């Protein structure tokens, strides 16, 4: 389908397929999933299932798939649903196929090149309007029509209305913010502090202690976001408190799972690599950004203590007591 209503999703993994299916059910016309996985493309087009990620779940007939990036031409909105580590190199390689006026919506949670967010990197590489969509959202629940909230970080100029129109009447509920940097940072920070809560729960499984640390972690997230120019009000959007608590307290979260493994003494480099853990990488990047200013790490003691776990020998049995003994700034 060509024209202003053509919607494309780059990435046919769990989140790309789930959101693409919701949009397809809610809109007239073809919704296109672009994937490099030929088996996934074939199964979606021939059987209306994504056998790799949602086996047995029937997809809407208007959700189609392709491995031909040239079919992105004519798209008015393109959702970017590929891992943060692969996002930018892949998009640069297919740049000629991305319409210059298409709205690009980032779904990935992580850093781009160096210490820059994905949105910062996209703004340097593309002339397109750039948005970010983040919130407490497990893809399995989205595709099963469980009501789910997202924050759309957008640059204004009516972009929010164009994107939100896709979800009217669906089980996707949006709130909005022009603090794109804050939305991006929170989506990264929540993975870091989910690791912390996993460690705490693995060692104690205490409601009192869990919510003591949760409160401190939330305050520290706020301080880091403000430190890097985000706005406090963004914390109370879906992308803030909602996404953090979902990730920190639910065992379906990969980063919380990493924390549980660390807390029980089962963590290895092989485990972290296999789980593709955004939180571990992000902790190092954030700490390096913070440490550039003398004494700044003292303002973020939980982050600093977690960084020590990832960078040398560490007695994990002392983690909780060390965090509790720290003075909050």
Q: Which residue numbers are catalytic?
A: 190
| Residue 25 in tokens | 């059910």
Spatial separation of the C-alpha atoms in residues 327 and 329, rounded to whole Å: 6
Cα–Cα distance between 210 and 64 in angstroms, integer?
A: 44
Point out which residues pair with 17 in neighbouring strands: none
What DSSP character marks residue 74? T
Cα–Cα dist 42/179, whole Å: 39
Angle at 280 between CA 274 and CA 281, to 5 degrees: 95
Cβ-based neighbours of 192, under 8 Å, separated by 6 or more: 255, 279, 282, 283, 286, 303, 306
């Amino acid at each position: 389908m060509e024209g202003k209503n053509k919607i494309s999703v780059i990435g046919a993994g769990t989140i790309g397929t789930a959101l693409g299916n919701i949009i397809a059910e809610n809109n007239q016309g073809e919704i296109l999933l672009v994937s490099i996985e030929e088996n996934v493309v074939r199964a979606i087009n021939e059987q209306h299932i994504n056998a790799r990620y949602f086996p047995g779940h029937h997809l809407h007939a208007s959700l189609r798939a392709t491995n031909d990036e040239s079919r992105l031409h004519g798209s008015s909105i393109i959702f970017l649903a590929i891992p943060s580590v692969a996002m930018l190199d892949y998009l640069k390689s297919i740049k000629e196929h991305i319409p210059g006026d298409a709205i690009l919506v980032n779904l990935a949670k992580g850093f781009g090149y160096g210490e820059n967010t994905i949105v910062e990197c996209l703004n340097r590489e593309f002339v397109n309007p750039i948005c970010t969509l983040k919130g407490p959202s497990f893809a399995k629940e989205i595709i099963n029509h469980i009501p789910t909230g997202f924050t759309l970080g957008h640059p204004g100029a009516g972009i929010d209305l164009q994107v939100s129109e896709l979800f009217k009447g669906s089980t996707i509920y949006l709130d909005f913010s022009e603090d794109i940097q804050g939305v991006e940072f929170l989506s990264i920070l929540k993975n870091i502090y989910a690791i912390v809560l996993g460690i705490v729960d693995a060692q104690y499984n205490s409601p009192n202690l869990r919510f003591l640390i949760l409160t401190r972690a939330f305050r520290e997230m706020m301080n880091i976001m403000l430190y890097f120019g985000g706005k406090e009000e963004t914390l109370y959007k879906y992308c803030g408190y909602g996404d953090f608590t979902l990730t920190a307290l639910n065992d379906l979260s990969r980063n919380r799972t990493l924390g549980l493994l660390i807390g029980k003494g089962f963590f290895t480099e092989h485990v972290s690599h296999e789980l593709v853990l955004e939180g571990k990488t992000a902790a190092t990047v954030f700490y390096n950004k913070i440490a550039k200013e003398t004494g700044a790490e003292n303002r973020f003691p939980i982050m600093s203590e977690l960084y020590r776990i990832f960078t040398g020998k560490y007695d994990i049995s002392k983690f909780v007591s060390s965090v509790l003994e720290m003075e909050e700034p």
